[in-house]
Structures are given as structure tokens and as C-alpha cells.
Amino acid sequence: MIIKKQTRLRGEIDIPGDKSISHRAIMIGSLAAGTTRIRHFLTGADCLSTISCFRKMGIQIEQRSDEILVHGKGLHGLMPPKAILDAGNSGTTTRLMSGILAGQRFDSQIDGDASLRARPMKRIMEPLTQMGAEIKSVSGEAKLPLLLSGRTFPLHAITYHSPIASAQVKSCILFAGMYADGETSVAEPVVSRNHTEVMLNSFGAKVTTQNRTAAIAPEPVLTARDIMVPGDISSAAYFLAAGLITPESEILLKAVGMNPTRDGMLRVLREMGADITVLNRNDEAEPYADLLVRTSSLKGTVIEGDIIPSLIDELPMLAVLAAFAEGKTIIRDAKELRVKESDRIISVTNGLAAMGADVVPTEDGMIIQGGKPLHGGIIDSCLDHRIAMSFAVAGTVCEGDQKIKGADCVKISYPDFYDHLNKLSES
């Protein structure tokens, strides 16, 4: 994909549905009694992998033009899959579904593409094993493929102290806790996104939270409901950034999710001097609002500590944005970036260096000295959707053409990304 410099970006964008919430709606809807209707579902490749996996376990899922219908069969209604459950590129599918599969009375196997096979699974294997689940890695390296054997009924309730703040780990354990013999709880060093807790409670489960600990009571009776998926703030991040750094720009982003465990990027952008106005806020279980962003003069900042889990997926875009800000930006405490779809610390620093930026990688982040004129380069996306989109945004303001290798990987989370970017440039 070749991205050319733009003189301005203007218009409205309907941000695609939140990926995290879309995954969970399929999973929990499958375990609920009745038909769950999901509007504004994200039809990216990752979420379609989740649909495919649950169809293989006997769940009827209808994809209509304006909604998804999940005909759930209750907590114990899944059927033994006749084929390997292929999670594609989706870590969320793999880790969350493992918690559900650990409580079933049948054997199953999960696999994925080459990128997913490289991602760590020990973080879920250890707590599930503590609960009595039989889960092992075919390779013996705590990576995909994973084999789960239906042998332990029920699972053992545990109190797990997670060494990392990870919504995927937390959700995996909470899902397994539905099939346990007592209350299961997860304590985190920092609170991660809470979409699982919010949605489970809305379906009728009993999930309680206190400080950094979430707990679930076993054997919940889940009842189907209608779900409106808000726009994904991780997808909105690219157009927030584009609107801030492209001259004479004004972009309205519609119905963006404003969950307080996910809004870290907005807090950081305001510290950097961003002109962002929140409009038409709707405070449902998953709050959302329209965001109006205008061109701004940005300054460097320090991003570290407790805020990191609330913006971990937005850090590649923030790092690229920092190269266009005045002064130094330091990112710390983000070692988790090394085990995403790519090593995002390396992917981002290599991309910025190709554009002529002053950037130094560290073990848990990077240091970016902003304000230096940047030029277009040849960017290797590493088949990582967030790297491709971050550097596409950079291409709208740098001198010369920005060439992105493997640019089609955006289909994982934002299939219409390039069309939306072109729409704004033509307004």
C-alpha cells in the first residue's frame, strides 16, 4: 500500500465495532439460553475466527447484514468439535476460549496461524492447570497447538494472583470459573479492561469486583439478550492521531467506546495538548460517545505505570504520533508489546527509523525525540494490523510516499481502514 501526503483530512467516520466486545458477545451468547442479537459486530478476521470455532461446537450463528444472531444452548450445551478449532491470528479467541473448553466434557484442540503459534500460552496454561484442567502444548513449548482433555468435573475454584495485567488471562480464568466447584477469583497487579465482567453480569452471571480482584460464582444461568457493540477505541486511535497531526483537519468519530478501562489514550493525548471534544455521551453498561478531533500542536510526554493496560493496543500509534510532537516521549512498563502479533517495540522503532525519526528501543518501551522532519519509507508491517495502520497515518503527513509491506493485514480488525482514510482525504 502506498500512502501519500495529505493537505487536510475532514469528515465523519463510523468506527467499526469493538473487537474485544464482539469476541465476548459470541462466546457468552453461545453459552446463554436463547437467541442473542448483536448489532454493530466487528466482521474482522479475528472475530470471524471466533464465530467459526463456536459453529464447530454446534452453535448456530446467523450473519445478517445488520446483526449477528447467536442461538445459544446454555452453559453446558457445546458439542464436541469434529475438527481442530482454528483461531487464525486471534490471541483473544485462543485464550478466552481455552477457559471455556477447560470446563467441557469433551476433548478439543486449538491451533492458529504462524504468528499466533509464536505467542505465549503459559500465562493461561498455569492457572487452568491449577484448576485441574488437562491442557498441554503439542510442541511442549507452551505455545499452540493446545490440547484440552475433558476429564475434570467440576474444575477446582482458585484464587489466582496474576503476574501480569491481562484481560485475556483474567477472562480465561473467569470463564473457567463458571465450571468450578466454588467462587473463582483473579487478582491483577493493575486493573485490565473489564469487558468480560460487564458482559457476564449483563447476561445474568454473578461477577464481583473489588479493587484489583474480580470473582465469579460457579454455574451461572446465562440468558440471551440484545447487544449494541460500541465503536472500537483502538480503531478510533488511528483517526484521532490523523486528525491531530494533519494540517487543517477536523474529524468526527461516531459512537466510540468510552469504557474507563480502555480510555488511556484519550488521557495521554490531552496531556500532549490534543484538541478532542466529547459529544453525545451515552452511559450504558459499555459507555460510548462521539469524538471531535482537530489539528493540534502536540508535545512529548511520559507514558508509564498503571495507565499502560488501558492503552496497550494504542501504544504503536502513540509512539508514531510522538515522532511528530515537540520534545521527548518516553514509554515504559510496556514489555507486553514484545509478545503481540509482532514484537511491537522492534516493529515500531524499525518503522520510525526508516522514516528518519530519532527513536531508541528499550527493554520495556522506547524513547522518541519528536519534532524532526520525517520522510516516507518502506515499512514492514510484520503482518501486524496495528503497525500497518499506525504507519499509514504517519504517511499522511511525511514528505514523499510511505510504502507499507503486508498492508492487507488490517483486515484482522479494520477491513475498511484504507477506504475510510481515503474518504477523509477526499472530503
CA-based max dimension of the chain = 62
* Geometric angle at alpha carbon 1, from 343 and 298, rounded to 5°: 65
Closest listed residue to residue 141, CA positions, set 127, 124, 121, 126: 121
CB-CB contact of 373 with 5 (8 Å): no
Residue 401 a catalytic site member = no
Of 313, 343, 358, 380, the catalytic one is: 313
205 phi/psi in degrees, rounded to 5: -75, 165
Give the integer Cα–Cα distance in Å for 311 and 315: 6
Residues assigned a catalytic role: 313
